[in-house]
Amino acid sequence: MRSPLDLLDFNSTPAFIAPSAGQYPHLWLWDACFHAIILAELRPELAARELNALFDAQLDDGMIPHVRFNPAVETSRYRPNETDWGTGGPHSGITQPPLVAPAAKIVFEKTGDKAFLKRAYPQIVRFHQWLKRVRDAADTGLVAIVHPWESGMDNSPSFDGVKDHFLKHHLPPGFEPPPRADTKRVPPEQRPTQDYYQFYWGLIRIFRETGWNPREMVKRSPCLIDDVLFNSIWARANDDLATLAWVLNKPRDQARFAAWATQTRRALGRHCWSARDGFFYSVDRRARQQIRVRTVGGLVTLYAGAATPAMAEALVEHLMDRREFYYHVGVPSTSFETVDFDSDRYWRGSIWINIHWLLSQGLMNYGYFDIAAKIMDKSHKLVEKEGYWEYYDPLNGQGLGASHFSWSTLTEIMKPKEPPPEFRMSSVVISPEEARRDDELRTLYLHPQNRRVKLTADHITSVPAVFINEVLEAIQQRPLDALGPIPEKQIRRRLRQVADITQRLIQEKRKAWPEYPRVCDLVSVAGERVFKSLKYRCEIRWTPDLHYFLRVTSPKGRVWIVDLSPSQFSWHPISRIPLLIERASLALESAVRKSGKAPLSLESLLRETQLAVQLIWAQADHSRMDRYEREAFLFGLRRHRGLVRRIMPRMLPCRPFFQSYLRWLESIQQGARRRT
C-alpha cells in the first residue's frame, strides 16, 4: 500500500491534488478542502495550494463551483464535462459544502502564514456572501441546495422522494442523459442508478435554460432542500470565518459571521430537529416538510455545535444503536434501518472516511472522546486492511468505488498524539539536539525549569528501602571498568551499552515488585554510580514534578541525555498525563509572555492534549496514584488551569472552547483526587 504522501503525490497535478487520478481527475470543492486539512498536518508548505486553486476557480459573483476542470484531461474521461455544463467557463454551475473557511483556519493554525490568510480571507468572504445572498435570500439562517451534488451525498436515500417527483412531473418525455463515464472504472452496482442520472442531468438542463442565473436556478429547481449536512458545515464555516476576521482585526466582520453561525445553529434546531425521533433531518422547501430519512448528515450537526447537550445525547444514542449506525466496521452513511439502505451503492449506506473525520471532530466538541477514538480506530483498520478507497462496505469493510482516493488519507491525522518511540525503550541515550525534535522529549529533558539535583538513597520514594539496598549493592558488585576506553565517535554506543547493563541489573532485582514501574529516582541514583565509576562526568537532572534522568558528559565534552526508565510512560500510562499537560502549559506560558492576540494554534494544541489525556485516563482505570504522584499531578493541573484563564481573554472567538476545556480540567482534577 502506498504511504499517504505517496498517494497524494500520485494524484497530484501541477495546480492541485485530484480526488483520484483515474476516476476523478479534476478539482472538487470539498475534496480540495479536505486535502488542505491533510496537508496542513503532513506537508504544511503545500496546504495553501489546494485552497488557492479553489480561489482561482471562483466566479465574479463569489460562487466557488463544485468542479473546476483540468484542461490537461481529455473531455471524454469525465461526464458531465465543460461542454455539458455550458457555463461559459471550465467549471460546473453549482457548488458544494462550504468547508473552505474551516480548512483555511486549520492551514493558518499549522503554518502561521498570515500572508496566505490575508489573500484567502476576502475570497472566502465573497463566497459566504454569495451563499447568504442567493441561497438564503429570506434570511432564515438555512442555505438551500438546488442539486443533490451540492450536498456531497449525491444519491442518498434522502433525495429519493424529490428524485421520484422530478422524474414524474418535470422530466421531458424520452429524455435520456449522455453516455456515462463513471462506470468505466467502477462497477455499475457501486455507482448511482440510471434514474438518478436522469435526475442529475435533468436539473442541469433546467439550469442551462436559466443561463446559469443563480436566483433563477433557485426559483426553478424542483430540488430545493435545506440539507442538514451542508448547513452544519455552513454554521461551522461562519464560526471559523469569524475567528479569521478576529485574527485580521476586522471586528465588524467577526460580529457578522458569528451572528450568521448562531442564526444557522438555531435554525437547524427549529426546522431540522425532530423531538419525536431525537434526530436532525433535511427539509424539502418545496414540500415544506422534513425528509425523515436518517443519514449521517443528521449526526454531522455535532460538528456545527448545533445540538444542545440533550440533543447530542440523543444523537449519540442513534450512533451507538446497532440497529442504526453502530457496527464494528464503521459508521454507515445511511441508517441500517432505512428501507432503501444499500451497502455498496455510493451514499446509500457505505462508509466514508471524510464523514468519520467530521463525526470524530463533532463528538469531541461534546466530550465524547471515547466514541470519537473508536471511529478513528475503525478508520485506521479499514485503511490498513483495504487501502485508500473512495468508500467502504459497512458490513464487511471491502474497499469500493475509486481506488487510491486522496481524502481517505485523513486517517493519517485522525489519531491521538502518539508517544515518541523512545518511551517504548528500556533506556534512552540521545543528544539535546535530538530531544528538541519531539515536543514531549523537549518538555521532559529540556524543560526551562530542569535542574541538577543531589539525589541519594534516602530520597528515593518509589520502592522500599530493602530493595534500594539490593539494587545498589548489585551495582557495586558488577565491575564495568572492563569495558575499557572507546573512541569519541562511538561514545553513544558505549553509553547505551552501559545503560542496558545497568537496566538489566535493576530489572533482575525488580522481579519482587514489578507492578510499580515508576522508579526514575532509583534508576537515576544507580545509573549515576555506574557512570561515575567509569570516570564519566554525570549528574542527576530533575524536571520538576515529572521525571529524573541523567546528563552524562563524554571525555571530549559532548553532552548526552541518558534515561534508564523512559518506558514508565508506556507501562504506567497515567504518568504521561502530567507530561502532556506540562507540554501544553509551556506553550500557554510562551503566549502569555507575548503581547497581543494569542496564536490560534493554542486551540488545536489543547484539543490534541484533551483527546490524548482523555484516552489515557479511560484506559488507565486500573492505575492508582501514590501520594507523590497525586501531589505532582494536581500541582501541574492547577498551574495549567491558571495559564488557560490568563490566555482566554486574548482568544476571544475561542472562549466557548476554553470554558468547556476548563470544565474538563476540573473533572480530571476531581478524578485524580479519587485515584489514591
Would you please indicate which residues are annotated as catalytic (active-site) residues?
154, 390
Sequence-ordered strand ranges (E) for 254-318:
273-274, 279-280, 282-284, 289-291
| Helix, strand, coil distribution of the chain in percent, nearest 5 | 55, 10, 35
Indicate the burial class of 536 (C-beta count within 10 angstroms; 0-12, 13-18, 19 or more): buried
Residue tagged 490537461 (cell numbers): 72
What letters, b where the CB count within 10 A reaches 16 and e where it falls short, cover 243-258?
bbbbbeebeebbebbb
Other C-beta atoms closer than 10 Å to the C-beta of 504 total 12
State the cell numbers at 660. Answer: 468547556
Nearest to 85 by CA among 198, 170, 192, 212: 212
d(C-alpha 199, C-alpha 162), whole Å: 9
d(C-alpha 67, C-alpha 560), whole Å: 55
Other C-beta atoms closer than 10 Å to the C-beta of 157 total 23
Nearest to 563 by CA among 386, 391, 441: 441
Handedness of CA 378, 380, 383, 389 (dihedral sign): positive
Q: How many CA atoms lie within 13 A of 42 on its CB side?
A: 20
Nearest to 532 by CA among 487, 567, 507, 562: 562
Residue tagged 464555516 (cell numbers): 237
Q: Which amino acid is at 288?
A: R
Identify the bridge partners of residue 290 per DSSP, sorted by sequence position: 283
CA–centroid distance for 236 within its chain: 15
Helix then strand count (H, E) for the chain reads: 26, 14
d(C-alpha 322, C-alpha 334), whole Å: 13
DSSP state of 502: H
Please report which residue ranges of 170-291 form alpha helices under DSSP H: 194-209, 214-220, 228-247, 251-267
What letters, b where the CB count within 10 A reaches 16 and e where it falls short, cover 547-561?
bbbbbbebeeeeebb
d(C-alpha 207, C-alpha 172), whole Å: 14
Other C-beta atoms closer than 10 Å to the C-beta of 420 total 20
